[in-house]
């Protein structure tokens, strides 16, 4: 009788704990499941968007039942701090400020979830300075406020590692401070993906095997391996199941190509439609871009059918 009572109490406590403390991963996935659109904001790393494409490939293959639209509105050189170093004017323009275009972007695209990755440009490649740091913090807080005011969710990702020798200081130390502050906001229930810490640990590990290893040739922009690492942090944030194994590398490769083309054409069309202050090549009209995107969607679906058939995961609809 005592044993039965203990087991019953144990089950009640366990059940209460599970309901009072739901898995963060399940909660994050539920947000993704109910979303109609997910918007990526960031600088040139996001504009390049390879990590966005890697993430979307995981999403389409592992959760073909989800129809969330993936949007990329990164802009090269952009900051969230509104700062620009004098030397940047040699390019013919100051660094663009996200907040100049933010409200127009949110109104035009009406995302349910926003993932933002800023920081690498926000310290403007100078030693840590309290004034610049404050501008970064204020910019992040303004973004959160604006996104949530529209009823959307905001997820922040800390900046990638800066891996280039400096003149008398290590700029990645600045990025570490920015990242630690952003991660500390988790205590206020902010949703933060700590890319910087993971990337730094992985970089150290890889350099024990190859002292010349780099995620980025120029110290700023990750190559394919770095973008895969970025995407994996977002995947881990949302994932509820292990990813499907790669049964058909060619189909996966073709899907990446079509996802990339669809992402780029819609990215550039919306950037042009919404408007911004950075000199850039104009995108196609929204109507033209949607036509090209639709063609790529058909190709993506065909490749998805091949992948799912070989993994035994049934229909895509």
Report d(CA 303, CA 255) in Å as an integer.
6
| Nearest Cα to Cα of residue 113 among 181, 55, 47, 45 | 55
pLDDT in tens, 44-98: 999 999 999 999 999 999 999 999 999 999 999 999 999 999 889 888 999 999 9
Mean pLDDT calculated for residue range 301-310: 85
User: How confident is residue 165, by pLDDT bands cut at 50, 70 and 90?
Assistant: confident
Report d(CA 152, CA 120) in Å as an integer.
25
Q: Which residue has the higher pLDDT, 124 or 87?
A: 124
Q: Are strands 69-72 and 113-117 parallel, antiparallel or unpaired?
A: unpaired
- Kindly tell me if the per-residue pLDDT of 3 is higher than 50: no
- Dihedral over Cα of 14, 16, 21, 27: its sign: positive
pLDDT of residue 2: 38
Q: In Å, how far from its chain's centre is CA 309? A: 29
Phi, psi angles (nearest 5°) of residue 117: -130, 100
pLDDT mean across residues, the chain: 89
pLDDT of residue 180: 98
Tokens of 112: 């349910």
Looking at the chain, how many residues does it have?
317
- Kindly tell me if the per-residue pLDDT of 24 is higher than 50: no
User: How confident is residue 277, by pLDDT bands cut at 50, 70 and 90?
Assistant: very high
Tokens of 50: 């390879």
User: How confident is residue 21, by pLDDT bands cut at 50, 70 and 90?
Assistant: very low
Report d(CA 119, CA 80) in Å as an integer.
8
- Kindly tell me if the per-residue pLDDT of 293 is higher than 50: yes
Q: Whole-prediction pTM value?
A: 0.89
Mean pLDDT calculated for residue range 156-176: 91
pLDDT of residue 167: 67
pLDDT in tens, 221-266: 999 999 999 999 999 999 887 776 665 667 778 899 999 999 999 9
Q: Which residue has the higher pLDDT, 20 or 280?
A: 280
Q: Go through the domains of the chain in sequence order and give each one's CATH number.
A: 25-244 (3.40.50.1110)
Report d(CA 266, CA 288) in Å as an integer.
9
pLDDT of residue 1: 39
């Amino acid at each position: 009788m005592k044993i039965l009572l203990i087991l019953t109490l144990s089950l009640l406590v366990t059940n209460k704990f599970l309901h009072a403390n739901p898995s963060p991963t399940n909660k994050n996935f539920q947000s993704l499941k109910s979303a109609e659109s997910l918007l990526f904001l960031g600088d040139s790393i996001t504009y390049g968007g390879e990590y966005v494409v890697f993430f979307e490939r995981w999403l389409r293959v592992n959760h073909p039942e989800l129809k969330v639209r993936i949007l990329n509105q990164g802009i090269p050189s952009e900051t969230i701090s509104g700062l620009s170093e004098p030397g940047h004017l040699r390019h013919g323009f100051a660094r663009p400020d996200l907040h100049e275009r933010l409200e127009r972007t949110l109104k035009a695209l009406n995302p349910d979830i926003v993932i933002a990755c800023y920081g690498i440009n926000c310290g403007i490649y100078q030693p840590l300075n309290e004034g610049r740091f404050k501008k970064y913090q204020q910019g992040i807080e303004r973004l959160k406020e604006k996104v949530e005011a529209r009823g959307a969710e905001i997820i922040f990702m800390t900046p990638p590692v800066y891996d280039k020798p400096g003149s008398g200081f290590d700029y990645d130390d600045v990025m570490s401070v920015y990242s630690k502050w952003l991660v500390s906001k988790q205590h206020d229930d902010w949703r933060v993906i700590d890319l910087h810490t993971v990337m730094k640990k992985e970089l150290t590990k890889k350099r024990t095997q190859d002292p010349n290893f780099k995620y980025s040739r120029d110290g700023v922009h990750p190559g394919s391996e770095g973008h895969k690492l970025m995407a994996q942090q977002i995947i881990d944030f949302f994932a509820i199941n292990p990813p499907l194994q790669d049964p058909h590398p060619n189909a996966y490769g073709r899907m990446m190509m079509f996802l990339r083309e669809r992402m780029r054409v819609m990215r550039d069309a919306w950037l042009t439609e919404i408007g911004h202050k950075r000199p850039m090549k104009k995108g196609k009209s929204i109507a033209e871009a949607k036509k090209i995107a639709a063609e790529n969607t058909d190709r993506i679906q065909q490749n998805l059918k091949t992948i799912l058939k070989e993994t035994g995961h049934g229909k895509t609809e």
